[in-house]
Amino acid sequence: MKVLVTGASGQLGMDVVSVLKSRFEMYGVGREQLDVSDLEQCKEVLNSVRPDVIIHCAAYTSVDLAESEQDKAYLINAYGTRNIAVAAEEIGAKLCYISTDYVFDGSGDSAYTEYDNTNPQSVYGKSKRAGEWMVQNFSRNYFIVRTSWVYGLHGTNFVKTMLKLAQDRDRLKVVSDQVGSPTYTVDLANFLADLVETNKYGIYHASNSGVCSWFDFAQAIFEEAGLVVRLERCTTEEFPRPAPRPRYSVMDHMSIRVNGFQDLRPWREALRNFLQQYHRS
């Protein structure tokens, strides 16, 4: 099977290409090879490769900057996704769109299922939800995979930031009133590999199993890394950001269960494995 990954130079895209190349004929295209905002270029690239599956990782992910760059966020996340969906449909390819927990408002206290109403509060979340809408309206054979709190060896993420801060600080304040589930890129990539081989289309929630706050996550990072850092809890209000964050964005993995897929392993086990890889790299 031939698989094309957009956003292949990004944090998730790099690991998707790396993990899936042992199972599929892989083609990774980054921003330099494919501008998703250009419909004709999308058609040209997809027609030349003619993949069976497109895993659409390319996205505008600057959550706070999106509040002042609304047009750019929508151009990439909504209209860029429309372009990929249209081009994919023309060659009869399956489309797997990577979405986010930010499509929910996070105001509840129970895990969101795949078919709960969305209510994004940030420009980033709204633009990603618009991308979902484009996929649902322009593609017949699609998977929408919402994930959360992503980290891996490439790019910038919370785990790497905490490890870097620990080098010159012995005390940190971390938000404790935002709750969700971390996701290791390698584990997500392995799930995507299993998913796209099937015709079990629809919406999926995929994150490592279990729930924690950002404070809990930071604490686990330092414990697993053997670092001594004094952590202090703080509230979201103490660290105001341009874009609102979901307070409770835990996602239920109903689609994974009912479709017979293996759920992603517990988040702390995944973190331990990531840290081993990180220290070897």
Residues recognised as catalytic: 124
Dist CA 149 CA 191 (whole Å):
16
SS3 state of residue 202: strand
Give CA separation, 58 vs 4, 9, 134, 162, 193, in Å: 12, 9, 15, 25, 17
Residue 130 tokens read as: 């618009």
Q: Are 140 and 198 within 8 A, CB to CB?
A: no
Give the number of other CB atoms < 10 A from CB of residue 276: 11
Total number of residues shown for the chain: 281
Q: Is the dihedral of CA 205, 207, 211, 214 positive or negative?
A: negative
DSSP per-residue codes, 113-161? PTTSPP---SHHHHHHHHHHHHHHHH-SSEEEEEE-SEE-SSS--HHHH
* Amino acid symbol at 85: A
